[in-house]
């Protein structure tokens, strides 16, 4: 059930497991699912495309039986086309690659979709929306990074709101209402309403969910209130 609805669009909360306690990942994911998380995002990092190493398909495979939520794999890696099959086998239902990491983006999007998996493309903060204007109609999701990728717990880049508004306008003008507009980085109950009003429909939140002082359930409740 969506965390909220705005302008007739379902709003989805996708906690990022990057911020979870990996010593009790299954329990934390189950707790977040019970509290109303819609998806879970797996932040895959290779230490090359981004200056940090996180985890690979093994963690997604381990997580799969722990939740009924959609597993959304955000591949912050170089040559993601070499790993699509691994993440599909691991149970990913949504795979997002970075436009900056791929030479033949149309081919990679088709490769993901050929597996019956939802395909997304992510843009770093400095990457213009024009970089995906030829492919947006083929996508299930556009991810606008609102921090520079690589680490959780960073500050939301304020001018992202304008970029979100412009992306929303492109989707509306082209009647691509089925394409999810996802944001990731520094998202909290304190700014999620403004981000939703700018046009985002899926919110990746790591620290503000898994590192909330009063716990996961309270964190997700605050998101629901913020989006009422
Ligand atoms: C950055 C990661 C983070 C993470 C969310 O590469 O993608 O944005 O998912 O982290 P928080 O919500 O802690 O900013």
CA of 18 to the centre of ligand 1 (A): 7
**What is the pLDDT averaged over residues 202-212?**
98
Integer Cα distance of 212 and 149 in angstroms: 21
Q: Which residues contact 64 (CB under 8 A, 6 or more apart)?
A: 71, 90, 91
Which of 43, 97, 189 has most ligand 1 atoms within 8 Å of its beta carbon, as the pocket-test mutant? 43
- As a whole number, mean pLDDT of residues 199-207 equals 98
Angle at 5 (CA atoms; ends 217, 91), nearest 5 degrees: 65
- Specify the length of the chain in residues: 228
Q: What is the mean pLDDT of the chain?
A: 98
Identify the CA nearest to 74 among candidates 36, 37, 112.
Answer: 112
Question: Going edge to edge, which strands form the sheet with 118-123?
Answer: 4-6, 9-15, 202-205, 180-184, 141-145, 118-123, 94-98, 70-76, 39-45
pLDDT tens digits, one per residue of 30-76: 999 999 999 999 999 999 999 999 999 999 999 999 999 999 999 99
Q: Which residues line ligand 1 (CB under 6 A)?
A: 16, 18-19, 43, 74, 76, 147, 149-154, 184-187, 204-208
Q: Tell me the pTM.
A: 0.98
Q: What pLDDT score was predicted for residue 97?
A: 98
Query: Which residue from 120, 118, 150 is spatially nearest to 132, judged by alpha carbons?
Result: 120
| pLDDT tens figures, 147-176 | 999 999 999 999 999 999 999 999 999 999
**Strand 118-123, strand 202-205: pairing:** unpaired
The pLDDT value given to residue 79? 98
């Amino acid at each position: 059930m969506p965390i909220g609805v705005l302008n007739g669009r379902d709003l989805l909360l996708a906690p990022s497991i990057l911020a979870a306690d990996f010593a009790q990942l299954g329990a934390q994911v189950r707790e977040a699912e019970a509290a109303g998380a819609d998806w879970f995002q797996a932040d895959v990092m290779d230490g090359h495309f981004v200056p940090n190493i996180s985890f690979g398909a093994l963690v997604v495979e381990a997580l799969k039986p722990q939740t009924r939520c959609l597993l959304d794999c955000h591949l912050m890696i170089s040559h993601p086309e070499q790993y699509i099959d691994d993440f599909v086998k691991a149970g990913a239902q949504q795979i997002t690659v970075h436009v900056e990491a791929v030479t033949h983006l149309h081919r990679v999007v088709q490769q993901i979709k050929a597996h019956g998996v939802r395909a997304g493309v992510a843009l770093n903060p400095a990457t213009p929306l024009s970089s995906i204007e030829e492919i947006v109609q083929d996508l299930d999701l556009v991810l606008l990074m609102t921090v520079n990728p690589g680490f959780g717990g960073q500050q939301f880049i304020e001018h992202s709101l304008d970029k979100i508004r412009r992306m929303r306008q492109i989707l509306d003008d082209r009647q691509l209402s089925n394409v999810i507009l996802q944001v990731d980085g520094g998202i909290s109950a304190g700014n999620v309403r403004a981000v939703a009003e700018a046009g985002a429909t899926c919110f990746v939140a790591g620290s503000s969910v898994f590192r909330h002082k009063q716990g996961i359930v309270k964190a997700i409740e605050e998101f629901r209130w913020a989006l009422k």
